[in-house]
Amino acid sequence: MKKAPKIFLSIIGIILLLLIGGYVYLYSQISPVSQTASSDVRFEVSQGESVRTIAAHLEEAGLIKNQTLFYYSMRFPSVFKILFGSQTSDSTFVLKSGIYHLNYGMTYAQITQNLASGQQEYIKVSIPEGKTISQIGNILEEAGICNALDFKAECSNKSMLKARGINGENAEGFLFPDTYFLTSGMSAQQVCELMIDTFFEKISTIPGMSELSSDELYETVILASIVEREYRVEDEAPLIASVFKNRLRHNIGLYSCATIVYIITEIEGRPHPDRVLLEDTKIDSPYNTYKWAGLPPGPISNPGLVALEAAANPPKTDYYFFQVVDAQAGRHVFTTTFDEHKASHNLSTKN
């Protein structure tokens, strides 16, 4: 009979050893992969991913040792908090998609805190003045933001254009060129709407532009889009706008090479020409300002503030012509008569 207590104590001892061993093992499994913080690891949580999927991805990335334990620590945070203290979180894990920077020295609590923060990795994308919808789409795709074709399609979203008072067939001219901080995987709709909203925010600083009707605004943007592609020196943008305004007032063709380049590259899909040839000015297109007087049917680029302000408030001048006189500096000479224009052309040729 004396053997029974010994056997009982032995069983208790074995159970305790197993429990202690199990606890030590579990603790080792939930402890950080490394005892020292290492360089950051980029970790992405996609929209709609489950906790179990995220746990698997964390283990694949080497950021945790055991995906099953991570999953259950998220399901029963209070239990794991009692057992393992500061290693685990004591609150329910709220999933937020985004791009995070984790490291191998993080505890479960630190990992879940980061993944629940919704913190995003922003991608800096600069959109230069004078780019077209298709060119902007390519920039966005190369930066890993959204698909270029999706962006182009969204720019022709009729309900979106109508909601923002844009009279054109697409958002050409209304995508404000600026430096944006975007996130990977943003939808084409989100990016398009952001750029259009930025446009309307920016033009509110231009005197008189916010008071324009939808038709007046659209015409101003068309003119600005041409000015944007014609000027190189900022102080000449208003003078170029005044030339075009004078020509429009007297129903004289704008004769803008920029509109011909737009036809060639954006409508006909040909490579950007080194120079506009005489035969190019005969292309049958409503965008051909050599062939038709007045403004083209839509913007040919997305202008910046300089061109927009020049088009909205051009100075009153007697100029009807401008001609490059210093190609390197981008300087033009502005003239009133055709004879003066021919003389400036001869001067330009000599230079």
Banded pLDDT at 153 (limits 50, 70, 90): very high
DSSP code of residue 100: E
The reported pLDDT for the residue numbered 350 is 44
pLDDT for 286 beyond 50: yes
User: What pLDDT shows up at residue 349?
Assistant: 47
3-state secondary structure of 183: strand
Q: Is 319 or 63 the better-scoring residue by pLDDT?
A: 319
- At residue 29, the 3 state secondary structure works out as helix
CA–CA distances in Å: residue 131 to residues 87, 174, 228: 51, 11, 10
pLDDT band for position 91 (cuts 50, 70, 90): low
Lowest mean pLDDT among 71-85, 128-142, 252-266: 71-85
* pLDDT of amino acid 29: 73
pLDDT attached to residue 38: 64
Distance CA 300, CA 226 (A): 6
Q: If we measure between CA atoms, which residue out of 161, 243, 227 comes closest to residue 200?
A: 161
**Model confidence at 290: pLDDT above 80:** yes
CA geometry: angle at 246 spanning 242 and 251, to 5°?
145
Q: Tell me if 117 sits within 8 A of 102, measured CB to CB.
A: no
Looking at the chain, the whole-number percentage of residues with pLDDT higher than 90 is: 55
The mean per-residue pLDDT over the stretch 263-272 comes to 94
Pairwise pLDDT comparison (169 vs 328), residue with the higher score = 169
Predicted confidence band of residue 81 (pLDDT cuts 50, 70, 90): low
Question: What percent of the chain clears pLDDT 70, i.e. is strictly above it?
Answer: 85
Report the predicted TM-score, pTM, of the whole model to 2 decimal places.
Answer: 0.72
Cα separations in angstroms, 216 against 62, 177, 209, 233, 281: 59, 21, 9, 26, 28
Angle subtended at Cα 57 by Cα 53 and Cα 58, rounded to the nearest 5 degrees: 115
Q: Is the separation of the CB atoms in 306 and 237 below 8 Å?
A: yes
Amino acid of residue 340: E
Residue 325 one-letter amino acid: V
Q: Which ranges of 158-213 does DSSP label H, i.e. alpha helix?
A: 158-163, 188-203
Q: What is the mean pLDDT of residues 11-19?
A: 72
More reliable by pLDDT, 297 or 6: 297
